C-alpha cells in the first residue's frame, strides 16, 4: 500500500495494492499492523456503510466529546471526501482537504479525531464504508454547515441533496469554543 500525507498533517491518503485479473480484483482493505506502521495507531471499534444517490452531500460531521478517527473508502461509485481541521488552537484551524475516492482508484482517506468529515456523491450513486475509532454517541453528534463561507470548500455540486440535520448545521464561527475539539501539539 502507498501512504501519502495531505496538506493537513495527520490526514492520510492510502491506496492499498490491488491485484486484478480477468475475474476482477482483490485488495486488502485493512491490516492492523500495516496501518499501525503507517502511523494509524487508533483501534477501530465500529464499521458503517452508507448508500447515497446523485447530488447527495453528507456532512460536515464530528463528535465531541469522544472524537472519532475515521478510515473512509468507497465500495461503489465516486465521491469527493473532505476533512476540515476544527481543533481549536490548531495552526490549520478551519482549513480543509478533499480527495476523490472511488471504486476504481480504491483510495482511502484516514481522518484523525478532531476533524469534521463530509462527502459529496459525484455520479449516480455511492456506497461508502468507514471505520470509526470510537462508538457513535448521539449526544455528541455535531454538524458544521456544509457551505460555511469561511471554510470555503469547493464542492462539485451546486444544489446538493441534504438531510435536515445538515441543512441546520452551524458555521464553525458559531460553535462555542468549549464545543470544539482542542488542539494538542
Residues labelled catalytic: 61, 130
Q: Which residues pair with 5 in a beta bridge?
A: 12
- Give dist(CA 133, CA 176) in Å, integer: 25
- Give dist(CA 20, CA 9) in Å, integer: 32
Q: Are 72 and 132 in contact (CB under 8 A)?
A: no
For 34, the 3-state DSSP assignment is: helix
Helix (H) or strand (E) holding 32: helix 32-37
- Give dist(CA 126, CA 92) in Å, integer: 29
Burial class (CB in 10 A: 0-12, 13-18, 19+), 161: middle
- Give dist(CA 68, CA 64) in Å, integer: 9
Look at the block and give the residue holding cell 447527495. Answer: 56
Task: Please provide the distance, in angstroms rounded to a whole number, between the alpha carbons at the two ends of the chain.
Answer: 28
Amino acid at each position: 500500500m502507498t501512504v501519502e500525507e495531505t496538506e493537513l498533517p495527520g490526514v492520510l491518503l492510502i491506496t492499498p495494492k490491488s491485484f486484478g485479473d480477468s475475474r476482477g480484483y482483490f485488495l486488502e482493505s485493512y491490516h492492523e499492523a500495516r496501518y499501525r506502521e503507517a502511523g494509524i495507531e487508533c483501534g477501530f471499534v465500529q464499521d458503517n456503510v452508507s448508500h447515497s444517490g446523485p447530488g447527495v452531500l453528507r456532512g460536515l460531521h464530528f463528535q465531541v466529546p469522544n472524537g472519532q478517527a475515521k478510515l473512509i473508502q468507497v465500495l461503489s461509485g465516486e465521491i469527493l471526501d473532505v476533512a476540515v481541521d476544527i481543533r481549536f488552537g490548531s495552526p490549520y484551524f478551519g482549513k480543509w482537504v478533499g480527495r476523490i475516492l472511488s471504486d476504481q482508484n480504491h483510495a482511502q482517506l484516514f481522518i484523525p479525531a478532531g476533524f469534521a468529515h463530509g462527502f459529496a456523491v459525484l455520479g449516480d450513486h455511492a456506497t461508502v464504508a468507514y471505520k470509526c475509532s470510537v462508538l457513535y454517541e448521539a449526544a455528541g453528534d455535531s454538524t458544521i454547515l456544509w457551505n460555511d463561507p469561511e471554510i470555503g470548500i469547493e464542492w462539485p455540486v451546486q444544489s446538493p441533496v441534504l438531510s435536515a440535520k445538515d441543512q441546520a448545521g452551524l458555521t464553525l464561527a458559531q460553535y462555542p469554543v468549549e464545543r470544539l475539539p482542542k488542539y494538542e501539539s
